[in-house]
């Protein structure tokens, strides 16, 4: 929303021009996060612990994979 407002106010984008950006929004908002989410299903450490586990503080990455949690979940939020 903020990006659309910026484009409309500062760059004089029309509704038609904004609609043409929709495919990029879909790819960015659904396609990019899908890659690591799908990859995490198959990754395990030496002990056989999967990356996914019970949700803790809205994150499905288990504590044994803390760096993945920080980089892949909390990092983009901040």
Looking at residue 22, its pLDDT comes to 94
| pTM score over 0.75 | no
pLDDT reported for residue 27: 93
Q: What was the pLDDT predicted at 11?
A: 93
Q: Which long-range contacts (CB under 8 A, 24 or more apart) does 9-12 make?
A: none
CA angle 18, 23, 25 (to 5 degrees): 75
Q: What is the pLDDT of residues 1-49, one digit of tens each?
A: 899 999 999 999 999 999 999 999 999 989 988 998 899 899 888 888 8
pLDDT at 62: 83
Q: Do 29 and 45 meet the contact criterion of CB atoms below 8 Å apart?
A: no
> For residue 68, is pLDDT > 90?
no
Direct distance between the N- and C-terminal alpha carbons of the chain, in angstroms, rounded to an integer: 18
């Amino acid at each position: 929303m903020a990006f659309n407002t910026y484009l409309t106010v500062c760059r004089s984008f029309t509704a038609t021009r904004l609609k043409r950006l929709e495919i990029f929004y879909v790819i960015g908002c659904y396609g990019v996060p899908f890659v690591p989410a799908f990859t995490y299903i198959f990754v395990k450490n030496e002990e056989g612990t999967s990356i996914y586990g019970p949700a803790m503080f809205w994150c499905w990455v288990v504590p044994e994979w803390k760096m993945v949690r920080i980089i892949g979940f909390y990092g983009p939020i901040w």
